[in-house]
Amino acid sequence: MSEKAIVAKVWNFATILRDSGVSYTEYVAQLSYLLFLKMESERESIGESSKIPTSCKWERLIRLDGLELESAYNAALAQLAKSEGVIGLIYNDAQNKIKEPANLKKLFVLMDSETWLGLNVDVKGAIYEGLLAKNATETKAGAGQYFTPRVLIDSIVGLMELKPNMEVCDPACGTGGFLLSAYEAMKAQTKDKEELKRLQNERLCGKDITPLVASLCAMNLYLHGIGGEGGIIEIGDSLSELGNRRFDRVLTNPPFGKKSATKILAENGKVKSQKDEYNREDFFATTSNKQLNFLQHIMNLLKIGGKAAV
């Protein structure tokens, strides 16, 4: 099948979840949890090691039906969420939002009918990014939070003169578009196995404030062979602190707007708003304006001679 046909097939699974009242954003997450288990099963079948515990593996779950499947799947998600490293991040706070056991079984059967590992890595990435793009176009609000157009990302990365030994950061990483494009550009310049291993597990760094988005990012990168040892993606507010690490390149599409105000009770009994601002010693201006704060943060993240694209 073509990439477009595969993406369309996966997206058609959404009709099952719509019947269960699952939103588009939740749908991408729910499908990702299943897709990841299936791909790990396929990797293991060709002799590669899997990080998934035996009780959570696809082979066990696919044999179950009804309430037994629902119970086992709920338990699996809970166990995976407590795992160490990249698996724990991918399944961070994962919950089964598919309340009808019959619909859950349909999804398992549909997912099981395809050999996903038989598709090359680029096609697997296309499935994933296609879902995210589709989600962004079909939801009226917050699309930018999840998806920056790939053609824009690739154009920016192409201008940044990346080398395989550079350290690259996206402090508002979303689902990992910039990091993935940077990786591909750097990977194309080296055949050295040790250099590639460092590139896959050490050179890239991303952070996102939304746990679900950070989980999707970790999964997206993992499916492309990046971050298998964990530690690349973090959940948190990038603007809260600078941290100790500096980078050769910062590539990002940060959020716009203002940090929300906190409602407090004044002495006269009236409720008033108190502006939430980032009071950081390394900032030259104190403001609640997110884009100005991100620019200050990005400038301070750079090594001497480093470059950023925003």
Q: What is the CATH number of domain 1-140?
A: 1.20.1260.30
- In the chain, CATH 3.40.50.150 sits at 148-310
- Tokens 């291993």 -> residue: 197
CATH of 148-310, one of 1.10.3720.10, 3.40.50.150, 3.40.50.1000, 3.90.45.10: 3.40.50.150
Instruction: Give the chain's length.
Output: 310
pLDDT in tens, 145-192: 556 778 899 999 999 999 999 999 999 998 888 999 999 999 999 999
CATH code 1.20.1260.30 region(s) in the chain: 1-140
pLDDT tens by residue, 81-112: 999 888 999 998 899 988 889 889 988 998 88
Condensed to tens digits (0 to 9), the pLDDT of residues 31-82 reads 889 988 998 898 888 888 888 999 999 999 999 999 999 999 999 999 999 9
